[in-house]
Amino acid sequence: MTDETLAPAEKHVFQADVARLLHLMVHSIYSERDIFLRELISNAADACEKLRYEANTTPSLTEDGAAFSIQVALDPDAGTLSVIDNGVGMNHDELNSALGTIANSGTRAFLEKMKAAENSPGAAELIGQFGIGFYSAFMVADRVVVDTRRAGEAHAWRWTSDGKGDYEISPLALEEAPARGSRVVLHLNADSKEEYLRPYKIERLIAEHSSAVATPIDLIEKPGEEPRRIGEGAALWAKNKSEITPEQYKDFYQNLSGQFDDPALTIHWRAEGRAEYTVLAFVPGSRPFDLFDPSRKGKAKLYSRRVLISKDADLLPGYLRFIRLVVDSPDLPLNVSRELVQQNQVYAAIKKGVANRLLQELTKLADNEPEKFADVWKHFGPVLKEGLYEDPERRDPLLKMARFVTTANPEGGRSLADYVANLRPNQTAIYYIAGDGAERVAASPQLEGFRARGVEVLLLSDPVDAFWVQNAVGFDGKPFKSITQGSADIKNIDLVDETQKKDENPAATAKFVAAAKGVLESVVEDVRVSDRLSESPACLIAPDFGLDLRLQQILASAGQAPEKAKPVLEINPTHPLVVALEEKTGDKALFEDAVWLLFDEARLMDGEQPHDASAFAARLIRVLGKAAGA
């Protein structure tokens, strides 16, 4: 391609999300500018890994024999900093797609977080938690030029932008282009030239943030000088643990995860046997932005002999998706598609072995370092509990490590082993209540009788809780039992304070129950005396067979509920209101209004609306009027 044949430049407008991202970076988080170099080096390393993979099926792509490398070149006179790689490079369409749009599914979440934190002290930290890639260059540059040539292709291209709304793509003469790969040239702005053209500053940043990159990094301090190796490009996971410092593990984790926190747990092991593989895994110290992404995919890099096979390998079950890891196995084939690799028996063995070992390590952390595990559970407990529902094979170790908020431990951190060790005499089940929000659950009237008997109850407020308890057989021989479904079975458990026991009038109560059944027969399955109430007049529970109340609510909100079963209304025969109403069964109008109000009050306590809002309001006015003598 000669200068005479070069076509004119094409002008493009940035995708709206890119424009927003650029504006936020330049105006909100300028204090975290150092991140740009880590992001550009990470992109360059990915390009080298991609070409290394493609060359396994197309050796001609690397027939020049040049070793993969990344160069950071400074030009103080021109005021430029360049990051150069000899990786896969980009063609015209790839250049336009990669640098004009954002494909990452978590981008909008990042933008919303940034918008919320704008001009706040937390804004500077968010950039490191997400990893914004190429666009971070505009924090330090007022113009960026990318010269690139895709390996194996005969055309080269130049991308240019000032980051203010549009960019240009034009053909590039081959003599000006890299032989393959990309050259990203940052024309530094006035505030950045002095800082980022100092060799010692660049060397320190690379040592701090990119020392674990698996591609050698060279520094060229000024035009014409020889490159100086400042990053050895050795795969950290291939080293012996004794050779790796905590700082190196941390740097690798931050590069791998795109986060700036410290890992809560680092796990590094080599497995031998049916499959040989090495794993370096990290439990993050804070929640990733994409933790609750609907795709529920993990972030695992899969290598074979240090050749990247997949950047997002499906190696982890969905409930371990928060763990960031690298897996390298010499037993995996290089010359097949990534989809076929996943059908490989060795791959299946690795997948199973990795999940088992990670759960072992989390269990060990829970047993040996409970305070550290408490932070892990705080961030990832709701996700780990998904495994109780999805993975019956590993349910036991998950139940062992699970931690709960209970009536005895409202701050959380209660294990099932501790719960079972403190069962009350004659208690035969692990009791739980599921609901929306810990505070609302803790205020449920169904808890009163259990509290009066000193029976501990699990307070389950995560949406997944309503599902896993339906399938969990039990723990240590004790079944899980909902306190909002079926009979309470707590009569044989003594009250903590027997003096609180109140006298009942069985005959009057039986008359009240029979009359209430007649009033509510269209909306309840039964009305009966409750063992679980000690303070409130009434509550609703689900029938013995069917769905728990909370699960019915969740399925209904998702439009997936079967025909809703009628609840059971339980009444407290010693409550003053019920005792008074036992004497009012002859006043039909008042009695019916009062019973309906009891029913609707019980619905309200469960977070439901009254059965009929207008009828509820009319009854309330009539009863209040009668009480006031109106």
3-state SS of 576-601?
Answer: HHHHHHHCCCCCHHHHHHHHHHHHHH
Report which listed range, 118-132, 227-241, 351-365, is most confident: 351-365
Neighbouring C-beta atoms of residue 326, cutoff 10 Å: 22
Residue 72 has pLDDT above 70, yes or no: yes
> Which candidate, 176, 163, 92, places its Cα nearest to that of 134?
163
Name the CATH architecture for the domain at 402-500.
3-Layer(aba) Sandwich (3.40)
Residue 31 has pLDDT above 70, yes or no: no
> Which candidate, 132, 101, 110, 116, places its Cα nearest to that of 39?
132
CB-based contact 365:265 (threshold 8 Å)? yes
Residue 118 has pLDDT above 80, yes or no: no
- Average pLDDT score over residue span 220-234: 92
CA gyration radius, the chain: 32
pLDDT for res 552? 74
Phi, psi of 394 (to 5 degrees): -115, 20
> Which candidate, 128, 133, 138, places its Cα nearest to that of 186?
138
pLDDT for res 26? 62
Q: Which residues of 190-212 are buried (b: 16+ CB within 10 A; e: fewer)?
A: eebbeebbebeebbebbeebbbb
In the structure, what pLDDT confidence band is assigned to residue 298 with cuts at 50, 70 and 90?
confident
- Average pLDDT score over residue span 374-396: 94
Question: Cα 96 to chain center, whole Å?
Answer: 31
Residue 306 has pLDDT above 50, yes or no: yes
**Does the annotation flag 106 for ligand binding?**
yes
**Does the annotation flag 105 for ligand binding?**
yes
In the structure, what pLDDT confidence band is assigned to residue 128 with cuts at 50, 70 and 90?
very low
**Does the annotation flag 553 for ligand binding?**
no
Instruction: Name 70's bridge partners.
Output: 85, 217
Instruction: Give the torsion through C-alpha atoms of 54, 60, 66, 69, to 10 deg.
Output: -20
**Does the annotation flag 39 for ligand binding?**
yes
- Per mean pLDDT, which range of 8-17, 117-126, 281-290, 619-628 is the poorest? 117-126
In the structure, what pLDDT confidence band is assigned to residue 153 with cuts at 50, 70 and 90?
very high
Rounded CA separation 40/42 (Å): 5
**Does the annotation flag 129 for ligand binding?**
yes
Domain ranges of the chain: 18-231, 236-378, 402-500, 502-628
pLDDT for res 339? 59
In the sheet with 228-231, reading across from the earlier edge strand, the strands are 10-13, 166-172, 156-161, 141-149, 181-188, 80-85, 70-75, 217-220, 228-231
**Does the annotation flag 134 for ligand binding?**
yes
Name the CATH architecture for the domain at 18-231.
2-Layer Sandwich (3.30)
Token duo for residue 338: 């990534």
In the structure, what pLDDT confidence band is assigned to residue 121 with cuts at 50, 70 and 90?
very low
Phi, psi of 101 (to 5 degrees): -135, 170
**Single pTM value for the model:** 0.71
In the structure, what pLDDT confidence band is assigned to residue 104 with cuts at 50, 70 and 90?
very low
Residue 558 has pLDDT above 80, yes or no: no
CATH class of 502-628: mainly alpha
What average pLDDT is seen over the chain?
86
Neighbouring C-beta atoms of residue 122, cutoff 10 Å: 11
Strands (E), 152-258: 156-161, 166-172, 181-188, 217-220, 228-231
**Does the annotation flag 619 for ligand binding?**
no
**Does the annotation flag 90 for ligand binding?**
yes
The beta-carbon contacts of 355-361 under 8 Å, at least 24 apart in sequence, are 355/316, 355/317, 355/320, 355/394, 356/394, 357/267, 357/269, 357/271, 357/279, 358/267, 358/281, 358/316, 358/320, 358/323, 359/320, 359/394, 359/397, 359/398, 359/401, 360/397, 361/265, 361/267
Rounded CA separation 425/422 (Å): 9
pLDDT for res 275? 87
Judge whether 18-231 and 402-500 match in fold. no
In the structure, what pLDDT confidence band is assigned to residue 303 with cuts at 50, 70 and 90?
confident
The CATH classification number of 236-378 equals 3.30.230.80
- Residue 75: which H helix or E strand, with range? strand 70-75
- Per mean pLDDT, which range of 183-197, 251-265, 266-280, 294-308 is the poorest? 294-308
pLDDT for res 116? 61
Token duo for residue 146: 């990318």
For 109, the 3-state DSSP assignment is helix
pLDDT for res 122? 44
**Does the annotation flag 454 for ligand binding?**
no
Alpha helix locations (H) across 294-428?
338-341, 345-368, 370-384, 386-390, 395-401, 416-421
Rounded CA separation 84/621 (Å): 78
Residue 370 has pLDDT above 90, yes or no: yes
**Does the annotation flag 130 for ligand binding?**
yes
> Which candidate, 69, 64, 100, 93, places its Cα nearest to that of 183?
69
- Per mean pLDDT, which range of 66-75, 102-111, 197-206, 600-609 is the poorest? 102-111
pLDDT for res 135? 82
Between 76 and 117, the more confident residue is 76
- Average pLDDT score over residue span 174-197: 95
DSSP state of 541: E
> Which candidate, 180, 154, 157, 141, places its Cα nearest to that of 10?
157
- Per mean pLDDT, which range of 218-227, 276-285, 584-593 is the poorest? 584-593
In the structure, what pLDDT confidence band is assigned to residue 399 with cuts at 50, 70 and 90?
very high
The predicted-structure confidence for 477-517, as pLDDT tens digits, reads as follows 999 999 998 888 898 999 998 776 777 888 999 999 999 99
Rounded CA separation 390/584 (Å): 52
- Per mean pLDDT, which range of 101-105, 399-403, 542-546 is the poorest? 101-105
